[in-house]
Amino acid sequence: MRRALLRLAVIVSVLVATGVCRPTSYAAPPPEAADLAQIGAVQQHGYPLEVGFEDPFADLDPAWQADSWVTSAVSGGQLHLAVNADAPLSYGALWRWVELDVDQYQTVQIAVSGSPGMWALKVNDGTLPVDIELQGDISKTGVYSYDLKRSTGWQGVKQFRLSIFTIGLDTSLTVDSVRIDSRAIGFEDTFADLDPAWQADSWVTPAVSGGQLHLTVNADAPLSFGSFSRWMELDVDKYPTVQIAVSGSTGLWALKVNDGTLPVDIELQSDISKTGVYSYDLKKFTGWQGSKRFQLRIFAIGIGQPVVIDSAQVGRQLPFVPGCEANMPGDFNGDGVRDVVIADSEATVDGLSGAGVVHVVDGATGAVRDLHQNLAEIPWDANPGDNFGHAIAVFDANSDGCADLAVGVPNEDVNGIPDSGQVDLIFGAPGGLGSGPQTDTYMQGSGGLPDSPEPTDRFGYSLASGVTDTEEPYLIVGAPGDNVIDGSDHSGSIMYLRSGVKERFSQLSIGLTAEPDDRTGFAVAASPRHFAFSAPGENVNGRHQFSGMICGFRHNSGPVAPTSIGCVHQDNLAEAGDEFGKSLAMVSYWPSTDSLLAVGSPGKDVDGVVDAGQVVQLRLTDTAITEPIVVSQSTTGVAGEAAPGDRFGEKVLLVNTTPTAAPSVQTLLIAVGAPGEDTSGPGVDTGNIHVFAAGTATPESDTLIERAAGKLPGSPAPRELLGLSMGASPSELFVASPYVNRGVWAFRWSDLVAGTATPARSWVPGTGSVPAGAVAFGAQVG
């Protein structure tokens, strides 16, 4: 059969831009019980971490001793301390002796998850009349770190008593873990007093009380913001992490740095009102190396609205949050098992049609939890037609070891602007999504993001996320309705968010011509090295509306914005309605610095068959988009034959199970949805999914997923549209039937390679833990 050749029109545009991106906060929820760690190396975020002493309180080690009027107990991997009601004092301690080299093991860390009273942490080598306070009386919870060597002046091997104090009669202190390790702290201020090295703007009043810094912009200030700054010099290679603990903010606050040579400060944290413990990678934000002198600047924003700071420090890369140490991709609660997300963006919430729900399936227990915007942990109200869950993306946004969930809400009316859209970022924690740091929200023109919301922008229509090859989390947001030209053109754009970068890309920004209904950002996809967006409405050569185009980019790192590799369309082979780029998928290729991009073109006429559809696979290097491979149902090795309206390529997915090795037919796979496929008997558009080897123009075999014996249960139904919705993990392909015979089925990639299309597990509304009443069950799944 004739196979069309694809001609590439490569439009190269190199883009250099800078910006800043706020990394998100993390907190310290209770960890799971774990075995006692031995002395030795632990790898945390790429830095070797030596643990000198650790107790995660799997049980109560008899080495700990308590005052006679203090009750100590361990349950669920937590230590509970309480001063008895008849105690002679209103405080008491649990202590133990520790011996280690304080030159090697400098950092004491305690994770406190509950404190209705107060607590303190002290040390004594047995020679001191009064204990040395690492932490004075405090009621707050969180993960706290202290420089043992700096606080005590001790050197070398030292034996000392470590004491945890609980303060308050009949109140119970809950401690998750205590450890002493090699994470050095380059600078720290816990604000026991006001260090004169800090300097405030003349219209800002700083005050310290109770171990807290209070910053307030005076009522007669010439500006509505002001800073509190100090100079420091340290090795940013050794101490790359800046951490700030904010416990109160009636207005806004920000955190910036400057080495004195920059006309504009580098934002580590743009304007924000949230509280919590926030960490930032200084090297990645600034690009600095080696010994560096710089100014750290804390900003209070809002006249008469104080910001309360508990501590600021610069140190080694911080370990994962207790309970998230498993660091399993897709694991929201840290139990080491990947969870599953099933979105129904058209679901009714509290009587609000189309508000949208995301079902989260616990990978270990199978329990299902529903997330929507009427929950307290998501600080927005559900509204009819918001479509919460129209797009989803799973990644570890704050690098704490627990996965986080980005949810697109493209029809959210931001500030009353209809269908302008937003993205809610819900953070994982041992207690599950939303139980840790506060949910973050991304909107155009807010929190340092460029642009501004406009009607029908549909920001959040598409999402892609992950971690770059330099270990930086990123999020890409499509806004295909964004008006780039005249306020009503829907030419579209994307927003790129990574540490140090917040950048909006449109066709105009990369030197192309934006046109009405380009729909740039309709689909986005990414690998650790590259990313791409599509414009399926692109009018190629001025005569083919909705023929389509894709553009590729290199992530880069630190404060350096992504650079454009180029854009590709079908040139003279383009036809109106091809919809080249209707769907995208990307994975790492071989060599590992390359990526493979799959581009669905479901409206393509193949061999004269209208809307039969095809898929084009492209190799992305750092400088070029090359090696097109065209596959359709007319390709040898692909099951079936091209038929009118099949729409092969409506949805594409890629998986590479060995991204750092040469690919094979067992490891590099593509799944292609053909929702318009007709089956004999039941009628039109029952649909199916093809799974075959990627990266080759001649796949040897094709495993079909369809309603048939030994495959999907049940009978084919008219307009079921199988292949319209799919998702993937490294081990499984998820296939959804959102509207007819509703359900989601998981197929192991290894089974599909072997030619077996029997689902390994499934979720059906109204069965097991899955609630009934679905509308578009699994319209997005992953």
Q: pLDDT tens-digit profile of 98-129?
A: 998 888 788 898 989 888 889 999 999 999 99
Is the preceding omega at residue 738 within 30 degrees of 0, hence cis? no
Q: Which of 524, 580, 568, 326 is nearest to 428 (CA)?
A: 326
Which has the higher per-residue pLDDT, 619 or 23?
619
Q: What is the rounded CA–CA span in Å between residue 292 and residue 428? A: 34
For the ranges 179-183, 507-511, 548-552, 692-696, the lowest mean pLDDT is seen at 179-183
pLDDT of 729-770, one tens digit each?
Answer: 999 999 999 999 999 999 999 999 999 999 999 999 999 999
Of 494, 485, 411, 423, the closest CA to residue 455 belongs to 411
Alpha carbon distance 90, 187 (integer Å) = 34
Q: What is the pLDDT of residue 151?
A: 84
- Residues 502 and 564: their CA atoms lie apart, in Å, by 15
The whole-number pLDDT of residue 482 equals: 96
27 pLDDT higher than 80: no
pLDDT, tens digit, for every residue of 290-306?
A: 889 999 999 999 999 99
- Check: CB of residue 162 under 8 Å from CB of residue 156: no
User: What is the set of domains in the chain, with CATH numbers?
Assistant: 40-183 (2.60.120.260), 189-315 (2.60.120.260), 650-782 (2.40.128)
Is-contact 557 539, C-beta < 8 A?
Answer: no
Question: Residue 9: is its pLDDT beyond 80?
Answer: no
What residue type is assigned to position 193 of the chain? D
Question: 319 pLDDT band (50/70/90 cuts)?
Answer: low
| pLDDT higher than threshold 80 for residue 49 | no
How many Cα atoms are found within 13 Å in the side-chain-facing hemisphere of 721?
15
Return the structure tokens found at 379: 């600080």
Q: Which of 24-28, 160-164, 314-318, 446-450 has the lowest mean pLDDT?
A: 24-28
With 90 as the cut, is the pLDDT of residue 581 above it?
yes
> How many of the other CB atoms lie within 10 Å of CB of 130?
7
| DSSP calls for 382-425 | --TT--TTSEEEEE-TT-SSS-EEEEEETT--BTTBTT--EEEE
Please report where in the chains the tokens 């810094």 appear, as a residue.
213
Position 646 scores a pLDDT of 97
Collapsing DSSP states into helix, strand and coil, what is residue 286? helix
> Is 407:399 a contact under the CB 8 Å cutoff?
no
> Secondary structure of the chain: what % helix, strand, coil (to 5)?
0, 45, 55
Q: What percent of the chain has pLDDT over 90?
A: 70
Tracing tokens 């830095």 back to the chain, one arrives at 47
8-state DSSP, 775:
S
Q: Which helix (H) or strand (E) holds 732?
A: strand 732-737
Q: Residue 17: is its pLDDT beyond 80? A: no
Per-residue pLDDT tens over the stretch 677-708:
998 766 789 999 999 999 999 999 999 999 99
Query: In which band, very low, low, confident or very high, does the pLDDT at 317 lie, cut at 50, 70 and 90?
Result: low
Asked if 550 and 494 count as a contact pair (C-beta separation under 8 A), the reply is no
- The alpha carbon of 124 is separated from its chain's Cα centroid by a whole number of angstroms, namely 42
Residue 351: alpha-carbon gap to chain centroid: 30
Q: pLDDT digits over 147-177, tens only?
A: 788 789 899 899 999 999 999 987 899 998 8
Q: Show the DSSP H helices in 46-184 as ranges.
A: 148-152
Residues 506-511 have a mean pLDDT of 95
Rounded CA-CA distance 354/345 in Å is 7
- What pLDDT sits at residue 744? 98
- β-bridge pairing 550-554 and 563-568: antiparallel
The mean pLDDT value of the chain amounts to 88
C-alpha dist (Å) from residue 581 to 516, 524, 601, 640, 660: 17, 9, 6, 23, 27
Higher-pLDDT residue of 96, 26: 96
Residue 149: its pLDDT value, please?
83
Instruction: Select from 531, 530, 511 the least CA-distant residue to 521.
Output: 531
Residues linked to residue 142 through DSSP beta bridges, in sequence order: 112
What is the spatial distance between Cα 338 and Cα 343, in angstroms, rounded to a whole number? 16
What is the end-to-end Cα distance of the chain in Å, rounded? 36
The per-residue pLDDT for range 238-289, each reduced to its tens digit, is 788 898 989 899 999 999 999 999 999 999 888 888 887 787 888 888 889 8
Q: Distance between CA 572 and CA 540 in Å, rounded? A: 8
**Pairing outcome for strands 501-505 and 524-526:** unpaired
What is the rounded average pLDDT of the residues 321-326?
81
* Longest alpha-carbon distance in the chain: 93
**Side chain identity, residue 409:** V
Rounded CA-CA distance 686/703 in Å is 17
Rounded mean pLDDT, 590-612: 94
pLDDT at 499: 79
User: If pLDDT is split at 50, 70 and 90, which confidence band does 77 have?
Assistant: confident
The yes-or-no verdict on residue 515 having pLDDT over 50 is yes
Residue 676 pLDDT > 80, yes or no?
yes
- Cα(111)–Cα(147) distance, rounded to whole angstroms? 15
Strand order from edge to edge, sheet including 266-272: 199-200, 225-235, 291-301, 252-258, 266-272
pTM to 2 decimal places: 0.72
Cα distances (Å, whole numbers) of residue 177 to 55, 59, 457: 6, 11, 47
Judged by average pLDDT, the poorest of 9-18, 159-168, 419-428, 494-503 is 9-18
Is residue 510 a contact partner of residue 551, using CB atoms and an 8 Å limit? yes
At 94, list the tokens: 């649990």
Residue with tokens 């029952």: 686
**Residue 37 in tokens:** 């760690």
Number of Cβ within a 10 Å radius of residue 513: 12
**396 and 23 in contact (C-beta within 8 Å)?**
no
Local structure of 520: helix, strand or coil: strand
Per-residue model confidence (pLDDT) at position 103: 81
- 403 and 467 in contact (C-beta within 8 Å)? no
Give 318's pLDDT tier (boundaries 50, 70, 90). low
Per-residue pLDDT reduced to its tens digit, 626-638: 989 999 999 999 9
pLDDT > 90? residue 559: no
**396-441: pLDDT as tens digits:** 998 888 999 999 999 999 999 999 999 999 999 999 999 988 899 9
Q: Which of 480, 484, 406 is nearest to 452 (CA)?
A: 484
Mean pLDDT of 369-377: 96
Residue 561 in this model has a pLDDT that exceeds 90: yes
User: Looking at residue 682, what is its pLDDT?
Assistant: 66
